[in-house]
Structure 1
Amino acid sequence: MAEVILPGTYITVRDEGLISAGRIASGYIGIVGTAASGPINQVQILGSFSEAKAIFGVSDAWQGGTKNELTLIRALEQIYNNGGKTVYAVRSEGVTVDNYKTALAELENEIVNLVLLAGQDSSNVGMANALIAHLTTTAGIKRERIGLIGSALGDDIAKISGHSYASDRLIFVAPGIKSSVSDPATQTVSQVSLPGSYLAAAVAGLIAALPVQSSPTNKTVAIEGLTTNFSASQLEQLVQKRVLVVEKREGWRVVKGITTATNSAWHQITTRRIVDYAIYGVRSACNPYIGKLNNDRVRGAMKATLDAFLTRMVEDEALVGYSLDVSATRAQQIAGEVQVSLTLQPTFSIDFILVTMYLG
């Protein structure tokens, strides 16, 4: 409504010019696993490892991974040791595939960027398939995320490099790690070998602590040791086979931050994270426009909001450049839909990523 400020002078304030993209999560971790205490199949939002222990209790004695040892606290310890901050954790009722699927379902509608199954490695095909299915489901309901899974304890170079994973939303981590664990019954501490699923938790914490444009390549992981120290030729072979492998070199370092994608455009973890961040940002910026007029003026304001968000990504060096178009056909105007077409050039990528979104 126009407001009179002087006789014969009117001013109209349109709120479209005040809309900006809201805060976008880039390092939230979702995890499911077994624990000694805490509510079952309920999401618990954690901000620290001490908070995690207060809810889920402590780990039991490690018996080589053969006695259904508790997994959640062990994995959370690796996450928080490596910089993870906000974690959406779900205690599973048990260690069966169906138990983990039920727990994963609780995370579907949460805004998380990385997801993993505590203690479950590539040797359990059913668990791996459950994680992959979860990634597919969440991508379909606009809750895109990246999954991590680790190699099994004792897997050799042939077993690890022979994996069949091929997804830009899945990271395969190797090898296993050495870790000091305590036996609650005897109060003794000993160093044991844990499967690659716990290295995956450590890598998840590392990635979550990094800006989307910062690669985990050559970054150090806070672990006590590796179960296998691969040679230079073996490391090269694993990288070529799309494995995120950690080596001993002035600490414990990620050789190359890669997904399991066979498409080279999505090979880098940074590319997947940058594009997901852009998609979440576009949705966040466009949500306040829902219910407003679908005309040239409002679409122009929407484009200005998106330009401001994407320009910040360029300034933060997440993007080298971009192009943007906001349009609607007559039929789309009547249906209240807008088409947003983006061409993104992520940092560290020579590829241009085309993203088309229909918002309404």
Structure 2
Amino acid sequence: MQKTINDNSGLVIGNELGKTLNNKLPSNTDLDTGNPFSGGNDGADAGKEAYQTSLALLENEIINILLLAGQDNSVDWLKEVIEGHLKITANTKRERIAIVGSGFENGKDNLDTIAKHTFNSDRIIFTAPGIQVTGKNQTDKLPGSYLAAAVAGLIASLPVQASPTNKTLSLGGLSSVFNTAQLEKLVSNRVLAVEKRDGFRVVKGITTNDGAWRQITTRRIVDYAIYGVRSACNPYIGKLNNERVRGAMKATIDAFLSRMVNDEALVGYELSVSATRRQEIDGEAIVALTLKPTFSIDFIKVTMYLG
């Protein structure tokens, strides 16, 4: 371990433990059985069932971003597992988005394979290419699953209305540096591509959806609004279903949405809270909401005339 650290890191120096510290280390045994640890491979052999079991444990948690660590699009079961999990969580009011990275073919990025991905969801982001990491004595190229982790960190650091478009990532390098035509091919095929330009920048912050939910910010703004409206309504469950209580609930929702407008996440909104006499008897209150989210500038067209 000491040699590995010293050979690959310019920031950390490894030294052997002295006798005093070594004697204070806990015993290398399982606390339940007392048996020695057998060691492991950091989950390298985890397959479809292991990930499905793990994701099932997260189904009831409030999570915004999903990432399958170490798994890229070259894994044949990944699409099925992610899409299944996202469908379950969307139906149980635990909406989230997933970020998936491109895989390698013969140890390198294949532009055509990346562009032919089959993801088509407003809740899935597909990133490319991979990244390059440099240790003290060697340089390695890693697949897009590692870039996906960096993109996840970037998105998590931004307000919902802030687009990752043109934002920089802290990377050592890219496994492939695509030219303008290649980047255009990726973006037109719904890939969140990263380019080398004054650092390493996200070309366009998009999901794999080709419709109204194309921008990542649209999906995040609406999810945030859904969560906020649910939270605003929750205290009123169990209270009287009359005009006064419904008016108070409308005011609470109004305050939340007004903050979203002030934060420039929304351009505007329309809100009504109502109930017919039949709905009052059935214990129902209806919240009708129309949102007008903001959209980010993905590119600028300049027209110049010479006079």
User: TM tier, shorter chain?
Assistant: 0.7 to 0.9
- Residue 121 (str. 1) matches residue 69 (str. 2): no
- Residue 308 (str. 1) matches residue 259 (str. 2): no
Q: Distance in 2 between matches of 1:93 and 1:105?
A: 20
Deviation at 1:177, TM superposition (A): 0.4
- Residue 298 (str. 1) matches residue 245 (str. 2): yes
Alignment match, 1:135: 86
- Residue 243 (str. 1) matches residue 191 (str. 2): yes
Deviation at 1:129, TM superposition (A): 1.3
Q: Which amino acid aligns with 1:102?
A: T
CA distance 1:94–1:287, shift in 2 (3 Å): farther
- Residue 228 (str. 1) matches residue 173 (str. 2): no
- What SS does the corresponding residue of 1:120 show, helix, strand or coil? coil
Please give the TM-score of this superposition, normalised by the length of structure 2.
0.80
Match of 1:278 among 222, 225, 231: 225
- Residue 161 (str. 1) matches residue 81 (str. 2): no
Q: Is the 8 A contact 1:221 1:253 kept in 2?
A: yes
- Residue 97 (str. 1) matches residue 51 (str. 2): no
Q: Distance in 1 between matches of 2:281 and 2:77?
A: 46
Deviation at 1:94, TM superposition (A): 4.8
RCO greater where, 1 or 2, for CA within 8 Å and sep 6 or more? 1
Highest CA radius of gyration, 1 or 2? Answer: 2
Q: Is the 8 A contact 2:109 2:176 kept in 1?
A: no
Match of 1:199 among 147, 154, 163: 147
Deviating above 4 A after TM superposition, structure 1's stretches of 4 or more consecutive aligned residues are: none
Q: Distance in 2 between matches of 1:148 and 1:336?
A: 39
Match of 2:204 among 234, 256, 278: 256
Alignment match, 2:36: none
Q: Distance in 2 between matches of 1:317 and 1:218?
A: 19
Deviation at 1:138, TM superposition (A): 0.3
Q: Distance in 1 between matches of 2:44 and 2:115?
A: 33
Q: Is the 8 A contact 2:246 2:274 kept in 1?
A: yes
Q: Deviations over 1:288-328 (max 9, x none)?
A: 00110011110111001111100000000000111011112
Alignment match, 1:86: none
Deviation at 1:93, TM superposition (A): 9.5
Match of 1:171 among 115, 119, 125: 125
CA distance 1:93–1:301, shift in 2 (3 Å): farther
Alignment match, 1:336: 283
Q: Distance in 1 between matches of 2:47 and 2:278?
A: 49
Deviation at 1:349, TM superposition (A): 7.0
Q: Which amino acid aligns with 2:206?
A: I
Q: Distance in 2 between matches of 1:158 and 1:267?
A: 21
Q: Distance in 1 between matches of 2:132 and 2:246?
A: 55
Q: Which amino acid aligns with 1:158?
A: D
What are the ranges of 5 or more consecutive residues in structure 1 without an aligned counterpart? 1-67, 71-91, 182-187, 351-360
